[in-house]
Chain A
C-alpha cells in the first residue's frame, strides 16, 4: 500500500523547520495528556496505578521523543519530502469539508457526489461538473445497496427521498 513517496535525505538546514513543528506537536500532545491526568482522581487500588498513570508514562515518552526529534532535526536526519503539488490537496480537503458541512442538509448522495467530483478534479479530471455527475450515479448505487439493502443508516436528503421515497 505504499505507492507514495520515498523520502530521501537532503541537506540539514531545510528539514529543521519540519522537525521543530513535529517536536512541538508531540510536546503539545504530551501537555494535553499531563493536564488531563492531573485532573483525574488518583484511584490506584491495589495496583497503585490509577487511571492517570499510564497516560502520564505515555506523555513522558512523547516528551522524550519530542526532544530526540529536535536533535535529529538539527543533525538533518529527518527525510525531506519531494516537492508537493498543493492544489490537489486543497481540492480533496475541500470535498471532505464540504461533505461534513452539507451532509445533513443535502443528504449522502449529493454531498458524496461533491466529494467524489472534487477528489477526481484534484487528480486532474476535468470538467468538474462531469466528475460530480459520475459521483451522483455512484453515490446513488452505494445508497441503494447500503441504505436500502444492508440497512446502514445513511443521512437522506431531498434527492434520496425523491428516488427511494420515505
Chain B
C-alpha cells in the first residue's frame, strides 16, 4: 500500500474521539509548557511518562508528540512578549520578536509565528509521511555496524558540533554514557556499577535523570540568579497582520520549513539549530536589512517555521531508525520502550496502524494548535502572570510526583536530588544538558550494536569501516567533530555558540 492510502487510514483512526482527546490534551499541555519559561517539552514528556503507564499506548504517544509540537508553538509567545525564550528553539525568535513587541507590534509577531508554525507543521508532517517509508526501506538494509556508526554520528552532533565548547559538550555526553553503564549488561547479564545497591540493578531511570537535570537544575539556577529577568510587554493594537506583513512572511515561512525539516531529520542537531540557520538565511536574503535587530518580521516568521518543521523532521530518524537526535526525542523513545515498542524499521511492519495514526494525529494536532494559539492567545498570556514562587513550587512538586509514583525509595529520590545539583552545576559552568540525556538512552543501544557487529566479525574491529555506508558515516562524524574545533581555534566559534541548544 502506498503512503497516501496508509495516511488516509491513519486519519480515519485518528478521528476516534479518544485519540482526538489525547491529541488535544497533548497540544494544550505543550502550548502551556512552551509558554512557561523554565519548563520545556522534554521535561513535560519525562514528567508524564510514569503517569501514562496504564494508559493506551497509541494515545499516550500521540499526546507526547502533541506536547513536542505544542512546545514549539508556545515558546514563541514567551520569546516575543518576555524576551525570555520559553524553550531553547525559540531563542532566535526573541531577537526580532521582542523588538516588535517593544514597538507595539507584538500582535502581528505572534500571528506570524503561529501561522508560520502551522504552515511548517503541515508541510513537514506530510513530508514525514512520504519520506518515512523510504527511509524504512533503506533502514532494512542496515546492519549492526551501520547502526553503530549512525549512533556515533548522533553522539557527535548532539555534543560537539554546536555550542561554544566541544570539550564541555563531550564531557556531558560521556557523563551520560557513564550513567548508561549502570545496571545489568543486556548481553551477558553481568551487574555493572551497582556496588551492591539493588535499586541500581535496573539502571538509571531516564525520567529521573531528565526531570532532575531539567526541572530541579533549572529551578536552582533560576532561584540563585541575582538579577530577575525582564518584564512583560503588553500587546497593544491589533493581532492582525497587514498585507505587507503577509507579503514579507510567506516566503520566510516556506524557507524556514525547507531549512528546518532536513536539519531535524538528519542527526544534525535539533530545532534550535534549524531556527538559527533560518534566521541567518532571512538576514542574508532580506530586502530590509536595516530593520534586522530592530523588529524585522521575517526574523520571526522564518525561525518559528523552521523550529516546527525541525520538530517534525526529528520524528523521521526517531520512528524509522529508533535514533533520537534531541532530548525530547530521546525521552519519547523511552516512552515507546515503556509500552514495549521499539522504534525502527520493524515498527512500520509490526505496528503500522499505530505509526500511521500517530502521523495522522500530528496533522490534526497542528490544526488544533493554530486555533489554540491565535484566537486564544490571551489565555496563554495570562499564564505568564503566575508569580514565579508558585510556578516553581508547582514545578518541583510535579517533578517529584513522577518519581514518587513509580518508585518512592530514598535511593531514587536521592538520585533525583543528586542529579538536580549536577544540573545546577552544569548550568553554572556552561555544560549542555541534552547530551547527558541522549547519552543515557542511546549509550546502551550503541554498545549493543557495537558488540553485535564485533560478534559477527569475530572480534575484528576493522569491520566497523568495512562497508561504504558505515565508513562514510564514521567519516562524517569525524568531520563534524574536527571542523568545529578548528573553527573555534580560528576564532570563528561565535557562530557555533549561538546555535547552542541546551534543552529541546
Contact = CB atoms under 8 A, between A and B. Distances in A.
B405 A99 contact: no
Interface in A48-71: 48-52, 54-55, 58-59, 61-62, 65, 68-69
B405 A153 contact: yes
B458 interface: yes
A85 B451 contact: no
Given A4-B427, A33-B181, A51-B185, A112 B400 contact: yes
A100 B450 contact: no
B190 A100 contact: no
Given A1-B39, A150-B51, A89 B224 contact: yes
A6 to B, nearest CB: 9
B459 A48 contact: yes
A104 B400 contact: no
A58 B389 contact: no
B430 A29 contact: no
User: Interface SS of chain B: helix, strand, loop or mixed?
Assistant: helix
A152 interface: yes
Contacts of B414: 100
A166 B283 CA distance: 64
A26 B171 contact: yes
A155 interface: yes
Is chain A's interface secondary structure helix, strand, loop, or mixed overall? helix
B441 to A, nearest CB: 15
Nearest to B41: A1
10 contacts: A3-B85, A55-B193, A77-B167, A79-B430, A96-B400, A115-B393, A120-B390, A122-B392, A135-B397, A138-B394
Contacts, number: 243
Given A5-B427, A138-B397, A155-B404, 5 more contacts: A48-B458, A51-B187, A84-B224, A84-B225, A152-B51
B174 interface: yes
Given A1-B88, A33-B181, A54-B450, A152 B50 contact: yes
Q: How large is the interface on A (under 10, 10 to 19, 20 to 34, 35 or more residues)?
A: 35 or more
Nearest to A139: B397
Contact of A54 (B181, B416, B417, B502): B181
Given A1-B87, A46-B455, A54-B450, A33 B178 contact: yes
Given A3-B37, A55-B193, A79-B429, A123 B223 contact: yes
Contacts of A153: 405
Interface in A125-154: 125, 131, 134-135, 138-139, 142, 146, 150-154
Contacts of B84: 3
B396 A115 contact: yes
Nearest to A147: B405
Interface in A85-140: 85-86, 88-89, 91-93, 95-97, 99-100, 103-104, 108, 112, 115-117, 119-125, 131, 134-135, 138-139
A18 interface: yes
B311 interface: no
B91 A115 contact: no
A5 B221 contact: yes
B501 to A, nearest CB: 8
Interface in B377-423: 387-390, 392-394, 396-398, 400-401, 404-405, 408, 410, 413-414, 416-417, 420-421
Contacts of B178: 29, 33, 55, 58-59, 62
A93 B393 contact: no
B413 A92 contact: no
